[in-house]
Every structure is written in C-alpha cells, then in structure tokens.
Amino acid sequence: MKKVLIPAVLSIFLALNSCKQDNASNATSGNGDTEKIETDGTIEHQQSVAPPNVPAPVGDRKAKKVVVHLEVIEKVGELADGTQYNFWTFNGSVPGSFIRARVGDDIELHLKNNANNTFPHNIDLHAVNGPGGGAEGTFVAPGKEAIFNFKALNPGLYAYHCATAPVGMHIANGMYGLILIEPEGGLPKVDKEFYIMQGDFYTKGKFGEKGLQEFDMDKAIAENPEYVVFNGKVGALLGDKEPQVKTGETVRIFAGNGGPNLTSSFHIIGEVFDKVYLEGGSKINENVQTTVIPPGGAAIVEFKANVPGEYVIVDHAIFRAFNKGALGKIKVTGADNPKVYKKSSN
C-alpha cells in the first residue's frame, strides 16, 4: 500500500511544484527591474500619424526620452456618409494618434486643449504606473497645455482615453487611442502593421439618419448604441481606405476597443490569427478565430496573407457588423494559391 502511495504523492507534489514555477516565471515578465533602465540621453519627438497607420517599430534601440504631443480637438465629422457628429478627438482622429515607445523609455506627454474647444479634458493612459494614469496631472482648460512624465515599465498594448467627467460621454464622443510599449529588442518584424479601434456611438437619431446627430445619454446608459464602428466612422476601412496587403506578407493588427460599453468579438472572415497577444499583454495564444477585446482593452493579432481576396473585419456580435457599422476590409492582392484555397470550378 505504502509503495503505491509514495509515488502518487510524489507525483502530485511535483505537479504542484511545476505549476508554482510557471507562475513564478510569468511574474518575472512584469515591471520588476524595468524601473532601473537608464535612457541613453537622446530625445525623440514622436511624429503623429493618422490611423490606420502607426509610427515605425522601435527595433533594437536603447531606451530614451520620447516626447509625445496630443492635442484635443472638438470637431464635427462624418460618423457615416451624410451623418455628422461632434467628435472629441486626440489629434483630430478617432482613434487618436498611436503612441509607440519601448520599455524603459521616459515619456513626456504634452496634452494641449485647442483654444476653440468648449470643454476641459485630460488623459488616462493604461500604460502608466501612477495615479489616474496621468489624468490627475493633465486636466486642462481650452487654450492651455498640460505636461506630465512617466517611465514605461510594462511592455504591452494599452488603451488611453479622456477621464474627465462625465467620463462615459467623453469616451463616447471618440476620446480614445492606443499606446504600444515594445519589449527590449522590439516586437518581431512583420511586413505590415495596422491600427484599428472599435467604438460604440449613441445618437438621438436612428442608425443612418442624416444630418448632425446629438449625443444621447439615455441610450449610452442603456448601453444601446445606434453605431458600432471601427476607426470612428461607418466605412472607415472600406473602398479606397481598405488596408492593402500582398500575398505572402505577414500582418500585425493593433486592435483596441474604446467602448465605452460594448465588448468586441474581433474576427476577420476567412483568416485565422496565427498569433494573438492576449489582452495586449505578453502571453501569446496561437491559431485563434475570434478574440475578445473589452472596452479599455486591446489585443495584438497576427496572420499571414496566404490567398488573395477581400477579408472582412467584424465584431462577430454580427448585427453590429451588418446593422450598426462594425465592418471593415483588408484587401490582399497577388497570385492565386490553389494549394491553400481553390474555388469550385462550376
């Protein structure tokens, strides 16, 4: 009896112990020592690029000081063809400019509130370790600028957003974007990178109603949007605005969700994500069909374009795609690949 028991107990002990070791190795990928990374004395003034584009990868550069300029601009724009909305934006786009840095960088963030704006604003970046994610230090009136500094301790893809009351309304008007903190040495190289962020919009008028639409607080509280869109507009990623890829290229999408309310079931019809950085963090899942992106969250998805065609990007809560606007496309051009995919000939 004892002879059987001892090996059984021993194997349970070993199994438990290996679990512990797994957890320990995960814990070390946090911000343990990144606080001590010294910057090399150089300063980069990050150039703002409009979505779906992103700044160049960090590569294997040393940590440095990165100065980021974001300007809040309240402006009327198109939510759908013929439907206007008074967007509140970071740098004039929804989502706001993509910020790209590496772990150990000292980031100096300038938040300017355009003098023509009506409301005060601020910014909470989920990549920040500090009170309010920067919101406390950046509350700024129209015509003024606030500056705060933070060290990027944790690698990953993070949301940022305005956190001025009523917070839900500021976010619902388009005040969100993504900040990527690359690990030391940078993310692995891919051929194409794109920036896509989902958001839900609450208008007095029903979906498709023409003219300038007012924000509807009741619909926002009920979490019942008229519009669910990628990159701030129905059709922002359709027609001549579809991201272009060639067959054989590897593609990385920095996918975020501004919300304010709805969780995205992010999916590309006809593609399998070879890799997903779950929740934008360090853990990689492989061979994923649909990834969940919560409001105030993100994921990095990667795939290889094997076969030419149009690939439809959706929130797979599918009425949102076909009835509320959460639909875009990626266009893949190049030679047919009948080994991977062949249309029926009849």
Q: What are the residues binding Cu ion (CB under 5 A)?
A: 121, 162, 164, 170, 175
Question: Whose CA is closest to 52, among 253, 215, 222?
Answer: 253
* CA pair distance 276, 288, nearest whole angstrom: 7
| Main-chain dihedrals φ then ψ at residue 224, nearest 5 degrees | -125, 80
* Number of residue whose CB is nearest Cu ion: 162
Strand-pairing partners, residue 277, are 284, 300
Nearer to Cu ion, 148 or 194 (CB): 148
Nearer to Cu ion, 10 or 76 (CB): 76
What is the helix (H) or strand (E) element at residue 83, kind and residue range? strand 83-90
Nearer Cβ to Cu ion, position 118 or 345?
A: 118
Least Cβ distance, residue 14 to Cu ion (angstroms)? 54
Q: Which residues pair with 314 in a beta bridge?
A: 267, 327
Residue 168 buriedness (CB in 10 A; 0-12 / 13-18 / 19+):
middle
Q: By the 8 A CB rule, do 186 and 211 touch?
A: no
Compute the least distance from the CB of residue 142 to Cu ion, in Å: 11
Closer residue to Cu ion in complex, CB, 93/164: 164
Cβ of residue 162: shortest distance to Cu ion, in angstroms? Answer: 3
State the nearest-atom distance from the C-beta of 175 to Cu ion, in Å.
Answer: 5
Q: Where are the alpha helices (DSSP H) in the chain?
A: 2-27, 135-138, 167-172, 217-221, 319-323
- The strand pairing partners of 330, in sequence order, are 311
**Is 257 or 265 the residue whose CB approaches Cu ion more closely?**
257
Which of 121, 219 has the CB closer to Cu ion?
A: 121
The least distance separating Cu ion from the CB of residue 259, rounded to whole angstroms, comes to: 14
Residue 161 CB, nearest approach to Cu ion (Å): 8
